[in-house]
């Protein structure tokens, strides 16, 4: 699932590669972060976003999630962002499931999410 703040080119490239992607910009724009995370969990989908608030939601509020990928690639052309995100997801798909992942220009950080007790 892709948040509305994710570049359309990322969604297009993921779909070209065979991934089923629900894109918030094509449905219910302005959806609240909590509602979006609930929707992604209901669909058992990894959430791709550019919104840093999801770190707060996942770690401080200890929200359970299938996984969150935070895209931190500002200033790069959309095609480059799309390529970096798709390659990162393809290379690390097993690892990003159940994790909070941050993709930057120079590296990818994957932090497993501990379930709330």
Taking only the tens place, the pLDDT of each residue in 75-116 is 999 999 999 999 999 999 999 999 999 999 999 999 998 765
- Spacing of C-alpha 29 from chain mean position: 16
Taking only the tens place, the pLDDT of each residue in 25-45 is 998 778 999 999 999 999 999
**Cβ(86)–Cβ(13) under 8 Å?**
yes
Structure tokens at 89: 């997801």
* Exposure on the CB side of residue 46, measured as CA atoms within 13 A: 24
Q: What are phi and psi of 3, to 5 degrees?
A: -65, 160
Residue 105 confidence (pLDDT): 93
What is the rounded CA–CA span in Å between residue 43 and residue 41?
5
Residue 113 confidence (pLDDT): 81
pTM for this one?
0.92
**Cβ(96)–Cβ(89) under 8 Å?**
yes
């Amino acid at each position: 699932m892709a948040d509305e703040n994710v570049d359309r080119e990322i969604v297009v490239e993921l779909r070209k590669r065979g991934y089923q992607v629900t894109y918030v910009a094509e449905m219910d724009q302005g959806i609240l972060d909590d509602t979006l995370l609930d929707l992604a969990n209901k669909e058992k989908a990894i959430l791709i976003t550019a919104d840093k608030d999801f770190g707060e939601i996942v770690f401080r509020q200890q929200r359970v999630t299938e996984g969150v990928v935070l895209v931190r690639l500002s200033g790069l052309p959309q095609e480059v962002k799309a390529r970096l995100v798709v390659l990162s997801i393809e290379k690390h798909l097993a690892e990003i499931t159940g994790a909070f992942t941050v993709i930057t220009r120079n590296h990818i950080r994957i932090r497993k999410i501990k379930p709330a007790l």
